[in-house]
Amino acid sequence: MIIWAFPIPAHGGEDPGTSGNGIVEKDLTLKISQYMHDRLNDLGIENSMTRTNDETLSPSVRPGRTQGFYGKDNDVIVVSNHINAGGGDGAEVIYALRNSDRLSRLISDNISATGQNVRKYYQRRLPSNPNLDYYYMLRETPNNESVIVEYGFADTPADATFLKNNWENLAEAVVKSLATYIGVPYTPKVTGNVYVVKAGDTLWNIARNNGLTVNELKELNNLKSNALSIGQVLKISKDTGTNENNDEYIVKSGDSLYAIARKYNTTVDELKRINNLTSNNLSIGQVLKLKSNTIETPVTQNTYIVKSGDSLYKIANMYGISVDDLKKANNLSSNLLSIGQRLIIPSNANSEKVYTVKAGDTIFMGNNEYII
């Protein structure tokens, strides 16, 4: 049986969906869906998106598009991607009344593995007719295997931060679930100087496409023969294991978190935090981030949010730096501050100084923002 998949970026155009903490649902769901589309292509799973840009789609057009592509049968999987709002934290998966919970369970498990809390996976009935699904995309995709994935709450700061930093991991969790569900071999996303062998590849074409000779490629990977297997991970540059920016590492046989942390001048705790690892276990081929991909501020920079009653002098004093250094780091031309303003604390600040957090303070720890 051929299975087609539909990553659906919900909302779009004049319908932005929910928003909060710098997240606009229609934009983030488009990024998530685009990511899924690319990764499903990588894995050889045929798929289409209902929209590929910021397009307004009326509710009736969206299921119409899925059926226009692949029809109404149960060999089509529809994944409707959403961001939640309304207070709460964590992901939710909703599946159609006609379907079993197997796909939802897989998605929930794989989302949990990213470090995101999964509140529940469930079905919801229309109050006026309990034989029908509550949600339009489940109700109007008659025989398709349809799920709605709510990745987290835009209006909950901790969830929003998680979404901004981990949306690719969350999308990958669904890709992995789809591959498992369909029975297609899953290979993790690899970037940088490695290549994952696909059907039809030869050493010769891989070498040529990467500017190497066959001998260089074999040497680089300690290959004794020309045999390749699908899914095999090959180094394609002498700068082993990591890409040019040195921000990812592919786990090899014999690696430990400790050894990797030491090699890249970081700590086991930091690696676990960046990668949302709950244990020290690694698997071969696993991709570890070496740096957090924070959006607003680099990890090494401390930031401070101005509160009522603050002055430049008070803040500078708190971090053991001069007012001038603080102004310079933030390109401030006057001493005026506004509440909620975000200040960069320059790295020469004395990290020994301890600031006691009071209720209502926002503190930044790396790329995670916590409201106390």
- Binds Zn ion by CB under 5 A, chosen from 3, 8, 10, 23: 10
Task: Round to whole Å and give the CA distance between 85 and 355.
Answer: 32
Q: Please, what is the minimum distance in Å from the beta carbon of residue 77 to Zn ion?
A: 19
Could you give phi then psi for residue 281, rounded to 5 degrees? Answer: -75, 140
Which CB atom, from 82 or from 164, has the smaller least distance to Zn ion? Answer: 82
Strand ranges in 13-160 using DSSP code E only, listed in sequence order: 19-20, 23-24, 76-84, 91-95, 118-122, 125-126, 129-133, 145-153
**Cβ 30 to Zn ion, closest distance in Å?**
12
Nearer to Zn ion, 106 or 148 (CB): 148
264 touches 220 (CB < 8 A): no
Q: For the CB of residue 15, give the shortest distance to Zn ion in the complex, in Å.
A: 9
C-beta atoms surrounding 48 within 10 Å: 18
Which CB sits closer to Zn ion, 18 or 242?
A: 18
Site string for Zn ion, 24-63 (x = CB under 5 A): ----------------------------------------
Report, in Å, the least distance between residue 85 CB and Zn ion: 8
Rounded to the nearest whole angstrom, what is the least distance from the CB of residue 84 to Zn ion in the complex?
A: 7
Output 37 or 82, the one with its CB closest to Zn ion. Answer: 82
* Residue 7 makes contact with Zn ion by CB under 5 A: no
Question: What are the backbone dihedrals phi and psi of residue 298, each rounded to the nearest 5 degrees, phi first?
Answer: -60, 150
Residue range at the interface with Zn ion (CB under 5 A); choices 1-9, 80-88, 138-146, 179-187: 80-88
The two structure tokens encoding residue 196: 């994952």
Q: Determine which residue in the list 26, 37, 39, 82 makes contact with Zn ion, applying CB under 5 A.
A: 82
Nearer to Zn ion, 13 or 340 (CB): 13
Please, which residue, 137 or 271, has the CB nearer to Zn ion?
137
Element (H, E) at 214: helix 214-220
How many other β-carbons are positioned within 10 Å of the β-carbon of residue 148? 23
Cα–Cα distance between 209 and 48 in angstroms, integer? Answer: 28
Segment contacting Zn ion by CB under 5 A, of 3-11, 54-62, 105-113, 189-197: 3-11
CA nearest neighbour of 276 among 160, 115, 147: 115
Q: Which residues pair with 91 in a beta bridge?
A: 118
Neighbours of 317 (CB within 10 A): 14
Of 5-13, 218-226, 265-273, 293-301, the segment contacting Zn ion by CB under 5 A is 5-13
Q: Which residue's CB comes closest to Zn ion?
A: 82
The identity of residue 152, as a single letter, is: G
CB of 11 to Zn ion, least distance (A): 6
Residue 163: phi, psi to the nearest 5?
-60, -45
Q: Which is nearer to Zn ion, 136 or 186 (CB)?
A: 136
d(CA 328, CA 347): 12
Write down the least CB distance from residue 33 to Zn ion, Å: 12
Q: How far apart are CA 190 and CA 78, in angstroms?
A: 26
Angle at CA of residue 270, ends 265 and 273, nearest 5°? 150
Which of the residues 155 through 214 are near Zn ion (CB under 5 A)? Answer: none
Give residue 37's identity as a one-letter amino acid code: H
One of 9, 17, 90, 192 touching Zn ion (CB under 5 A): 17
d(CA 351, CA 81): 41
Q: Interaction with Zn ion in 249-308: which residues (CB under 5 A)?
A: none
Which range in 9-17, 127-135, 216-224, 267-275 contacts Zn ion by CB under 5 A? 9-17
Give the nearer residue to Zn ion in terms of CB position, either 10 or 315: 10
Q: Measured from the CB atom, is 23 or 207 closer to Zn ion?
A: 23
| Residue ranges binding Zn ion (CB under 5 A) | 10, 17, 82
